[in-house]
């Protein structure tokens, strides 16, 4: 790096909570944090070396060259319209679902996306070294800086455009958010019988591990893939009192049956 580049974070939620300290430790000092929640901003600043609280979106005299917008999807365009950036600054959002063009409301031309493909919770530590970071940029200058930023914390950096990132995000929702919701349903079923989710831990770990090892299409087991209608009927009977769960069970089971027709 020819000279040290400073970073400003807009937003202090789950993504910023992990990403800002990671960049701070990797030689991209975070100088400012702005958030609609001053409490969240101050908590994040407590995790950084030299960041200061910013209470408005006028950054015209900021020393930062890189502005990371880590806010909820529906707030990105609003931020883009209100923010005032220094000359030649780069601004990138961290959303998987929003196109890069959401930032085109900003006066600058150096817009991009810096999307870490992971689920973030403040209470769970994140190792960035093997975490895929998907970068997109309006121009070569922005792309080079964002790749340099990504390379400083991860060994897995990809250039992904907005259309492909949308597909990636939908796939991630199925793989992560929906799967986790199914864990919650499983946990609730067990709790109703005074049993603990711990009982399923080895099964969950083996399921994920096997899908990674041999591919999900080869790892599928269970009554639906076996076309074991007797067991499926018994399960539907058990869920009879819960219309929503019953419908969900039927829908997913039918999708598995259709995906793996009997030879």
Q: What is the DSSP string of 129-184?
A: TT--EEEEESSHHHHHHHHHHHHTT-S-EEE--HHHHHHHHHHHIIIIIIHHHHHH
> Is the pLDDT at 263 greater than 80, yes or no?
no
What was the pLDDT predicted at 62? 97
Neighbour tally for 256: CB within 10 Å: 16
Partners of 90 in the β-ladder: 66
Global confidence as pTM:
0.90
Q: Rounded to 5, what percent of the chain is helix, strand, coil?
A: 50, 15, 40
Q: Are 4 and 63 in contact (CB under 8 A)?
A: no
What was the pLDDT predicted at 4? 80
Q: Are residues 152 and 215 in the same domain?
A: no
Dihedral of CA 126/130/133/139: which sign? positive
Tell me the percentage of the chain whose pLDDT exceeds 70. 99
Residue that finishes a domain, picked among 129, 160, 191: 160
What was the pLDDT predicted at 226? 96
Q: Are residues 28 and 147 in the same domain?
A: yes
Question: What is residue 103's DSSP assignment?
Answer: G
Q: Are residues 138 and 169 in the same domain?
A: no
Neighbour tally for 87: CB within 10 Å: 7
Which residues span the domain enclosing 241? 165-259
Buried (b) or exposed (e) across 121-154, using 16+ Cβ within 10 A? eeeeebebeebbbbbbbbeeebbebbbbbbebbb
Per-residue pLDDT tens for 9-58?
999 999 999 999 999 999 999 999 999 999 999 999 999 999 999 999 99
**Model confidence band, residue 180 (pLDDT cutoffs 50, 70, 90):** very high
What was the pLDDT predicted at 12? 97
Q: Are residues 196 and 251 in the same domain?
A: yes
> Is the pLDDT at 262 greater than 90, yes or no?
no
Tell me, what CATH number does 245's domain have? Answer: 1.10.1040.20
What was the pLDDT predicted at 151? 97
Q: Are residues 151 and 118 in the same domain?
A: yes
Structure tokens given for 85: 């950036």
Tell me, what CATH number does 68's domain have? Answer: 3.40.50.720
Instruction: Measure the N-to-C terminal CA separation of the chain; round to a whole number of Å.
Output: 59
What was the pLDDT predicted at 74? 94
What was the pLDDT predicted at 3? 65
Tell me the percentage of the chain whose pLDDT exceeds 90. 95
State the average pLDDT over residues 71-86: 96
What was the pLDDT predicted at 217? 96
Q: Higher model confidence: residue 94 or residue 107?
A: 94
What was the pLDDT predicted at 1? 43
Question: Could you give the number of structural domains in the chain?
Answer: 2
Per-residue pLDDT tens for 202-220?
999 999 999 999 999 999 9
């Amino acid at each position: 790096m020819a000279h040290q580049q400073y970073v400003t974070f807009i937003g202090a939620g789950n993504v910023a909570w992990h990403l800002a300290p990671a960049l701070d430790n990797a030689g991209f000092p975070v100088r400012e944090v702005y958030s609609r929640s001053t409490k969240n901003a101050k908590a994040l600043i407590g995790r950084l070396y030299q960041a200061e609280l910013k209470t408005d979106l006028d950054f015209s005299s900021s020393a930062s060259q890189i502005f990371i917008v880590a806010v909820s999807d529906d707030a990105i365009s609003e931020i883009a319209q209100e923010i005032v950036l220094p000359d030649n600054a780069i601004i990138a959002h961290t959303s998987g679902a929003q196109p890069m063009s959401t930032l085109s409301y900003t006066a600058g031309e150096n817009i991009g996306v810096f999307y870490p493909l992971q689920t973030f919770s403040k209470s769970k530590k994140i190792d960035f070294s093997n975490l895929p970071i998907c970068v997109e940029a309006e121009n070569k200058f922005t792309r080079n800086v964002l790749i340099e930023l990504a390379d400083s914390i991860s060994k897995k950096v990809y250039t992904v455009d907005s259309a492909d990132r949308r597909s990636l995000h939908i796939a991630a929702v199925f793989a992560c958010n929906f799967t986790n919701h199914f864990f919650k349903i499983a946990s609730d079923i067990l709790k109703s019988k005074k049993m603990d989710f711990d009982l399923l831990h080895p099964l969950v770990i083996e399921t994920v591990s096997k899908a990674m090892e041999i591919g999900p299409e080869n790892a599928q087991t269970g009554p639906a893939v076996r076309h074991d209608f007797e067991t499926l009927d018994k399960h539907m009977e058990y869920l009879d009192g819960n219309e929503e769960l019953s419908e969900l069970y039927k829908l997913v089971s039918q999708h598995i049956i259709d995906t793996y027709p009997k030879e």
